Amino acid sequence: MKNPKYRLIAEHIKQKITNGEWAVGTKIPSQRQLSEEFRVNRSTVITALEELTAEGLVEGKTGVGTIVTNSSWTLLGQGSLKNWNENLQLGPLKSSLQTVQTINDEESNPDLIQLSKGELSPSFFPKREMQTVMTKMATDFKTFGYEEPKGNERLREEISLHLSKNGLKVSPSSILIVSGALQGLHLIALGLLRRHSTLYLELPSYLYSLTLFQSLGIELKGFNMDQYGVTTKGFADFHKKKALYTIPNFHNPTGAVMPLRKRKELIRFCEENQLPIIEDDIYQELWIDAPPPPSLKSMDQHGSVLYLGSLSKSLSPGLRIGWVVGPEPVINRLADLKMQSDYGSSSLSQYVAAEWLGSGYHESHVANVRAALKTRRDAVLTYLDEHLSDYADWTVPTGGFFIWLTIKKPFISKNLFRRALKRGVLINPGSIYSENEAGQHIRISFAYEDLDRIKKGITQLEKIFINEGVDERSVPRAAKRRPKEIWG
C-alpha cells in the first residue's frame, strides 16, 4: 500500500534535516513552493508540516515561515549539536535585503512574468554567430591553464580596440578582466576604499541594492538627481576618505543620461577637489535614440576615474566577462586581489570573448539589439499609457533596459511588490534603490520578457490599483505627503 502523499512530503523534509542539508534554524520552503514541487494541494502540505511539528522537528513562526528546530540526532541526545547556522552572522559581509533575496530567488521562476530582470531576452542571443566563434575557438585552442593576473592578453587587446571606437584610448596594460562589473566593484571596495570612508552616489542608485560597501564600513551618501543625473550640490568636506560612484549612461534605475556639459563640469569639480570617480558604464552601447556623450574616463587627464565595462548587458551575463580600466598601479593592485580571490576569470570565457570581439560580430549584434530594444520600449510605453496613466508617471528612457515609474498615490513600494508577486509578476520596488524602505517608485524592464507577457504583467499591475488600492494605514505619516520629485 502506498504511503499517503503528506507522509511522502514529511519523509522528504525529514531526510533533508537528517542528512544536514537543512540544519537547525533553516527556513524550509514555503507551503506554496512545496505544493508546487509535489503537485498537491496546500492542505496536504499543511498536514505534513503538522506531523513534523508534532515530532518536534519544525516550528511555524509568524512572519518568518517554518523553521527547523531540531534534528533526529538532537532529539536522541541530551543537547543541541553545533552547526554552521550559528555562524551565519559572524562573517564581515551583510546579507542582502530580504526583498533583494526574494527577487534573486524568483528571477529563475519561469512561471512569473519577469519585469525585474536586468538582462536581454534569450531571443536576442546571437546563436549562429556564437556557434561559429566557438567552433573556431575549439579548432585553435591550445591550452587551458590559468591566465595572467590582469587577464587574457588577447582579450585585453580586443577590449582596448573596442573602447577606442567609443573615444576611450587605453592600453591593454591598464585593463583588468573581471567576472562581471560587479566583481570589479568588489575589488575596488576591498582594495582601494578605506574603512569609515564615504562613497557619494546618485539617489536612487543600483548600489543601494547591494550591501558590500556597508559591510566593509563604507558609508553611502546619496544626493538627489535632476533629469540629467547626480548634482554636486551638498558635496562637502573633501579629503582622501571620499569617492564618487556614478552611472552616467542610462542610469540604473532611472534611465537618466548625463549630458556632455554636465560631464565636463563633474570632471572639473572632482579634479579640483581631488575626488576620485568610479564610472559604471555597462549600458553605454545600449542606446536607442542617439549615442550618449563621451565617457567621463575619456576626459580624465589625471588618472582619477576608474571605468567599469561589461559584456553582460550587450551579449550574455553567463559569460561573466567585465573589465576595469584605470592607472596601471591601481590595476596591478586590483589584479593581485583578484588572484587572491579566484586566481583569474574563466579561461574559456575569456577565449570566447576575445574571439567574439575580434570576429567583428559584436558591432552588428549590438545594432540589432538596439533596434529590438526600440521596438520593445515603444510598445511598453503604449501599454503603460493604456493601463497605468491614471496611477503613475514615468520617464521615457533613451537607452538601457528600464522604465522608472513614479506612483501618484503614496504607498510603500514593498506592498506593491508583494501584491504583484501574488499575481505572478516580479517587479523591482524603488525602496531597494534608496536609503530608506518607503518609496513612490518601481522599476520595470522591457528587455527580457516577450511583449505579450509584458503587457499581461502591466495589466496585472493595473488590476492591483483598481481592485486593491493601496493600504495607506501602513504608510508612515511623513510619507503621506507627496514626496519631492527626484526630477527637481
- Sign of CA pseudo-dihedral 73, 75, 80, 86: positive
On whether both 112 and 131 belong to a single domain, the answer is: no
3-state secondary structure of 215: helix
Percent of the chain predicted with pLDDT > 90:
61
pLDDT tens track for 413-431: 668 899 999 999 999 999 9
**pLDDT at position 24:** 81
**pLDDT at position 90:** 61
The C-alpha cell that represents 346 in the structure block: 574563466
Average pLDDT for 283-287: 97
Domain end position, chosen among 362, 383, 399: 362
**pLDDT at position 204:** 92
**pLDDT at position 412:** 63
* DSSP assignments along 294-353, one per residue: PPTGGG-SSS-EEEEEESTTTT-GGG--EEEE--HHHHHHHHHHHHHHTSSS-HHHHHHH
**pLDDT at position 486:** 27
Of 35-44, 82-91, 119-128, 198-207, which gets the smallest average pLDDT? 82-91
CB contact at 8 A, 49 and 58:
yes
Average pLDDT for 284-291: 97
**pLDDT at position 437:** 53
pLDDT tens track for 90-114: 667 777 788 899 999 999 999 999 9
- C-alpha to C-alpha distance for 434 and 228, rounded to whole angstroms: 18
On whether both 119 and 131 belong to a single domain, the answer is: no
On whether both 180 and 311 belong to a single domain, the answer is: yes
pTM listed for this prediction: 0.81
Q: Is residue 20 part of a domain?
A: yes
**pLDDT at position 69:** 83
Average pLDDT for 9-23: 84
Residue with cell 508583494: 418
Q: Is residue 487 part of a domain?
A: no
On whether both 304 and 447 belong to a single domain, the answer is: no
pLDDT tens track for 148-171: 999 999 999 999 999 999 899 999
3-state secondary structure 303-315: CCEEEEEECCCCC
Q: Is residue 488 part of a domain?
A: no
Q: Is residue 67 part of a domain?
A: yes
Domain end position, chosen among 330, 362, 394: 362
On whether both 441 and 469 belong to a single domain, the answer is: yes
Identify the CATH number of the domain in which residue 287 sits: 3.40.640.10
On whether both 116 and 189 belong to a single domain, the answer is: no
On whether both 423 and 319 belong to a single domain, the answer is: no
**pLDDT at position 480:** 36
On whether both 69 and 157 belong to a single domain, the answer is: no
Q: Is residue 111 part of a domain?
A: yes
- C-alpha to C-alpha distance for 485 and 468, rounded to whole angstroms: 25
Indicate the DSSP class of residue 478: G
Q: Is residue 153 part of a domain?
A: yes
Identify the CATH number of the domain in which residue 420 sits: 3.90.1150.10
pLDDT tens track for 472-488: 444 333 333 333 332 22
**pLDDT at position 237:** 56
Rounded to the nearest integer, the mean pLDDT of the chain is: 87
Inform me whether the pLDDT recorded for 285 exceeds 60: yes
Average pLDDT for 296-323: 96
**pLDDT at position 81:** 54
On whether both 240 and 185 belong to a single domain, the answer is: yes
3-state secondary structure 227-251: CCEECCCCCCCCCCCEEEEECCCCC
Average pLDDT for 107-133: 95
On whether both 137 and 274 belong to a single domain, the answer is: yes
Structural domain for 59, as ranges: 5-90
Model confidence at 74, pLDDT cuts 50, 70, 90, reads: low
What is the count of structural domains for the chain? 3
- C-alpha to C-alpha distance for 55 and 74, rounded to whole angstroms: 12
Among left, alpha and beta (phi > 0; psi -120 to 50; other), residue 21 is alpha
Inform me whether the pLDDT recorded for 345 exceeds 50: yes
* Nearest CA among 296, 289, 313, 291 for reference residue 362: 313
On whether both 163 and 302 belong to a single domain, the answer is: yes
For the chain, the distance separating the N- and C-terminal CA atoms, rounded to the nearest angstrom, is 70
Q: In this predicted model, which residue has the larger pLDDT, 356 or 60? A: 356
On whether both 353 and 425 belong to a single domain, the answer is: no
pLDDT tens track for 206-252: 999 998 898 889 999 988 777 777 776 666 555 557 899 999 999 99
**pLDDT at position 25:** 81
- C-alpha to C-alpha distance for 305 and 245, rounded to whole angstroms: 10
Q: Give the chain's length.
A: 488
Q: Is residue 485 part of a domain?
A: no
**pLDDT at position 234:** 63
CB contact at 8 A, 137 and 351:
yes
Q: Is residue 438 part of a domain?
A: yes
Identify the CATH number of the domain in which residue 71 sits: 1.10.10.10
CB contact at 8 A, 448 and 121:
yes
